[in-house]
Copies of this chain bind each other. A is one copy, B any other.
Amino acid sequence: MLTDLYKEIEKHVNWLSSIGLDPKGGTTRLLYDLAWIEAQNSLKNKFEETGLSASFDSVGNLFGKLEGSKYPKETIMTGSHVDTVVNGGALDGQFGIIASYLAIKMLKEQYGQPLRNLEVVAMAEEEGSRFPYAFWGSKNIFGLADKNDVLYAEDTKGILFKDAMNQAGFNFRDENEKIREDIKAFVEIHIEQGNVLEKTGKQVAVVNSIVGQKRYDITLKGQANHAGTTPMGFRHDTVYGMSKMISESIDQAKELGDPLVLTFGHIDVKPNTVNVVPGETFFTMDCRHTDGQVLGDFTKEMESLFRKIAKDLELEIDIDNWMDEKPVPMSEKIVKILEEACQEKSLNYTTMHSGAGHDSQIFAPQVPTAMLFVPSVGGISHNPAEATKTEDLVEGIKALIASLYKLAYEE
């Protein structure tokens, strides 16, 4: 079976990532575009060929179901999202669909009909890459998406969300439609998109929570001055202020330690000239932690620190906290089942949190949910260079198969 799995994975990953191949590199498959339509229809055919009953919901989430013999009203769901970022890699989202499909196919071949329904899902959208809306797929499964939030949304070509959806053959969810109550567990396998597994030499991870994250825009205003003729004591240098804020807050973040992460990814300086003291500096702050209380306390402290530095240097400061997502714990019960599955199969695994967002954070508050990770080479993702060693993909699918067996085939 192992050799087969190795080849099957490579074949399927190559196949799915080739739908929407971008001449500028990688795969670009955005919600409701032609590549997306082709991918979802091809997956539907594949599910049906394998004996799964396949169907779309109103917005275009694709489900492939293997009926349970004993508990037909209980479903164990597994899968991920079919959309990519622009010039995305071959694994983000799509590996989760391929892995789930292959796991169900192999379980069916080896053990026949499960006790509970086993269902693979290829979710319509997660990345927010075409329209300014993320998690469109998973949110619609639970009736959590408000159509007013996308009604006037346009893509970069000016195409309206609704028109793109209609042209792909889909429509808004009927608000009277009942929410599914059969989903008893959701398991999503995904690439890590970080370098923890690689650095620690592990092949699989059970994910026990998804971090909360807060994002800020920070603008400092001082005074643009001549770099030669303005003595240091007469300056209101916004780059000096920014550099103190960044270096001191990262020092404090490192002292507080994992799992806190703090990133200043974007900086714009005005006028950005070698011989002018910068009168204005804009920068962003992205802070994440698995504990909402710690995240809130730390960012509050940093806000105070920034205001103190600005006051000391006589700079104006504007702090805009435009994203505040709470941490999402995974189901303890499902985490334990996934860990046991890894132990029973003697996999080289660890348990960790996710620093990135995933469809599972929409599922987790609704149904018992947990995730599996496989390593990302160099931690690279959202990039054509995104890669995972096939032997690690194999170990990930082995973990998924063992987990789904426990959930769907055992009493």
Question: Which residues of chain B are within 8 angstroms of A286 by Cβ–Cβ distance?
Answer: 227-228, 274-275
Contact A277 B258 (CB under 8 A): no
Interface string of A194-235 (1 = CB under 8 A from B): 111001000000000001010100000000011111111110
Chain B minimum-CB-distance residue to A309: B247
A192 pairs with B229, CB closer than 8 A: yes
Q: Contact between A269 and B272 (Cβ–Cβ < 8 Å)?
A: no
Instruction: Scan residues 217-274 of chain A and give those whose CB is less than 8 A from a CB of chain B.
Output: 225-234, 237, 239-240, 242-248, 250, 253-254, 257-269, 271-274
Chain A, range 256-307, C-beta contacts under 8 Å to B: 257-269, 271-278, 284, 286, 288
Q: Are A266 and B274 in contact (CB under 8 A)?
A: yes
Inter-chain contacts of A80 with B (CB < 8 A): none
Contacts of A159 in B (CB 8 A): none
- Decide if A143 is an interface residue (CB 8 Å cutoff): no
The interface residues of chain B lying within 8 Å CB-to-CB of A232 are 250, 253-254, 257-258, 260-262
B-side contacts of A379, CB under 8 Å: 225-226, 229-230, 234
Complex CA distance for A254 and B312, rounded to whole angstroms: 14
Q: Does A61 contact B (CB under 8 A)?
A: no
A369 within 8 A of B: no
- Known contacts: A246-B240, A379-B225. The answer to whether A230 contacts B274 by CB under 8 A is no
Q: Is the CB of A239 within 8 A of B246?
A: yes
Could you tell me the distance between the alpha carbons of A259 and B245 in the complex, rounded to whole angstroms? 26
Chain B residues contacting A268 (CB-CB under 8 Å) are 272
Beyond A227-B286, A227-B355, 15 additional pairs, beta carbon < 8 A: A195-B225, A199-B234, A229-B354, A229-B379, A229-B381, A232-B250, A233-B258, A242-B243, A243-B244, A247-B248, A263-B275, A263-B276, A265-B276, A266-B274, A274-B286
- Ordered by A's residue number, 23 sampled pairs between the chains whose C-beta atoms are within 8 Å are A193-B226, A193-B228, A193-B229, A194-B229, A195-B234, A215-B274, A225-B379, A226-B356, A227-B263, A227-B286, A232-B253, A232-B257, A232-B261, A240-B264, A243-B244, A243-B246, A263-B275, A263-B277, A265-B269, A265-B274, A265-B276, A266-B272, A268-B272
